[in-house]
Amino acid sequence: MAEGFDAVDVIRTKRDGGTLSDGQIDWVIDAYTRGVVADEQMSALAMAILLRGMTRAEIARWTAAMIATGERMSFAQLGKPTADKHSTGGVGDKITLPLAPLVAAFGVAVPQLSGRGLGHTGGTLDKLESIAGWRASLSNEEMMAQLADVGAVICAAGSGLAPADKKLYALRDVTGTVESIPLIASSIMSKKIAEGTGALVLDVKVGSGAFMKTQTDAAELAQTMVALGTDAGVKTVALLTDMSTPLGLTAGNALEVAESVEVLAGGGPADVVELTVALAREMLQAAGVDEDPAPALVDGRAMDVWRRMIAAQGGSPDAPLPVARESHVVTAPSSGTLTRLDALAVGVAAWRLGAGRARKEDVVQAGAGVVIHAKPGDPVTSGQPLLTLYTDEPDRFARALEALDGSFDISADSAFTPPPLILERYA
């Protein structure tokens, strides 16, 4: 069959700073998915987009073209509002675990399609798989039944949602084009729009442990994704949140599950509770529910949904979580106030201990990771434990400790105020 466009012409248009037409975009995404456009041609186009950028109209059309390569889900039959959350990834970011059952406790269905960790950012599915028996893969029918019964599901996205994105993301990963804001935005939003949720709240991280290192870049990404969602008829809100310091007091898989359960039991670290409640409030408002979610963390409603959600996916909510065989304590070299704990360094350390993967096929250790004993603003004394490292393989400690070299500052001056957790809101 004759093709409507030529890949080289499309590449040249963007290379020279031009605007791609709707027809060019529709064709190149479809043709790449069909294998007509070669990997080297699409990688050249992705690099041209990285260097030249895209207009709002181009990004919207690119996103729509990726959605059109697969199926679109609908939750209309549930008869209740739906809301989802997406985080751009960070260190210690276990927020999805308490958030989904918290929002579901108010009658809003939460179809949370999540992913696995790669590099220093943890994956929600990896965390939940540390619970005995829990399974990530559900059919669309199982997902719909669980949403109707329990109100919340956290599972892997099916292969039918935006298959062009899966192919293009793998290519970007090996061609140095992951950082393109138009391509990041369309990658995230093509899957979320195809998923069919009525409302979407975006947690866009900024700081050393985030994908976006500067607030300017994070704001551009947030505003681009809000525009894409809004244009597609999805009520979309974004919060810019700080990721210069790890979230909570754990980075790992089973370690973060345990901390999430503490939050659902009415306790847990203040920053995890603050962000969970803030995102829940946004999700509820976007779904048309005007209630304060905070009490449901204290009175057991959210915990009840959590237990039912875990059990519905084969997990045992009462089973003991895996514990690593080996541990190593990092102590404070001096007394004073902890003024910095670098999120990226802690994330890389947890990854090297076995909590993350370098390649998609790598196996993660359920018990590996880092427990944090002091956060910026806390007073510390010389010799006090700052971090405890956990792994099943003691030969991993050396490289984890290398990652933590220079990762924290202790000041004799006690006058230190940590930055706010929530930096901006876009709607």
Q: Could you list the active site residues?
A: 86, 165, 172, 187, 191
283/277 Cα distance (integer angstroms): 10
Tell me the three-class secondary structure of the chain, residue by residue: CCCCCCHHHHHHHHHCCCCCCHHHHHHHHHHHHHCCCCHHHHHHHHHHHHHHCCCHHHHHHHHHHHHCCCCCCCCHHHCCCEEEEEECCCCCCCCHHHHHHHHHCCCCEEEEEECCCECCECCHHHHHCCCCCCCCCCCHHHHHHHHHHCCEEEEECCCCCCHHHHHHHHHHHCCCCCCCHHHHHHHHHHHHHHHCCCEEEEEEEECCCCCECCHHHHHHHHHHHHHHHHHCCCEEEEEEEECCCCCCCEEECHHHHHHHHHHHCCCCCHHHHHHHHHHHHHHHHHCCCCCCCCHHHHCCHHHHHHHHHHHHCCCCCCCCCCCCCEEEEEECCCCEEEEEECHHHHHHHHHHHHHCCCCCCCCCCCCCEEEECCCCCCEECCCCEEEEEEECCHHHHHHHHHHHCCCEEEECCCCCCCCCCEEEEEC
